[in-house]
């Protein structure tokens, strides 16, 4: 069970993780699609060009010098399900297919940024009538 955090405004949040998923070139959008099905709404995809030595590529299980990295923000309670899905659907147990890992996010500057990356919805109104007493 994940621990809840409370910000200075009394809002309750789950701890967040930053997930890095490295996959073969052209598979990043497919990873994002699957992540969205599991409720992971904040994802970025970027092309990677390997400039590492052969030893490090072998250690990471990469066979190609080009790939894609998906950077995602997810709640702690989703980590196991998401990592299992990525490993299974993208055959990461096979050498050269990629890898994924998560690191904790220790802090986020600004409550709006936190709401955005954690996928929380908040209703904003600009109507002057809402400011009346």
**Domains, the chain, with CATH or none:** 13-121 (3.30.70.120)
Burial track 4-37 (b if 16+ CB lie within 10 A, e otherwise): eeeeeeeeebbbbbebebbbbeebbeebbebbee
Cα separation, 95 vs 129, in Å, equals: 60
pLDDT at 64 over 80: no
The pLDDT tens digits of the residues spanning 89-101 come to 998 888 778 889 9
- The reported pTM is 0.72
The set of residues, in sequence order, having a beta carbon less than 8 Å from that of 115 and lying 6+ positions away, is 121, 122
C-beta of residue 73 within 8 angstroms of C-beta of residue 30 = no
Tell me, what's the pLDDT at 128? 47
Separation in Å, CA 36 to CA 30, 72, 76, 82, 126: 10, 10, 16, 10, 30
pLDDT tens by residue, 12-37:
778 889 999 988 889 999 999 999 99
Packing angle of the helix pair 28-37, 79-89 (nearest 10 deg): 140
């Amino acid at each position: 069970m994940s621990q809840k955090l409370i910000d200075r405004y009394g809002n309750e949040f789950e701890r967040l993780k930053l997930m890095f998923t490295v996959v073969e070139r052209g598979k990043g959008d497919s990873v994002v699609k699957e992540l969205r099905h599991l409720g992971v709404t904040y994802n970025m995809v970027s092309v990677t060009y390997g400039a590492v030595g052969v030893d490090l590529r072998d250690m990471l299980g990469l066979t190609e010098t080009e790939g894609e990295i998906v950077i995602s923000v997810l709640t702690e309670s989703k980590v196991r399900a998401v990592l299992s899905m990525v490993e299974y659907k993208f055959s990461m147990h096979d050498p050269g297919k990629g890898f994924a890992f998560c690191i904790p996010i220790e802090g986020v500057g600004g409550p709006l940024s936190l709401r955005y990356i954690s996928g929380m919805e908040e209703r904003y109104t600009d109507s002057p009538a809402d400011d009346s007493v």
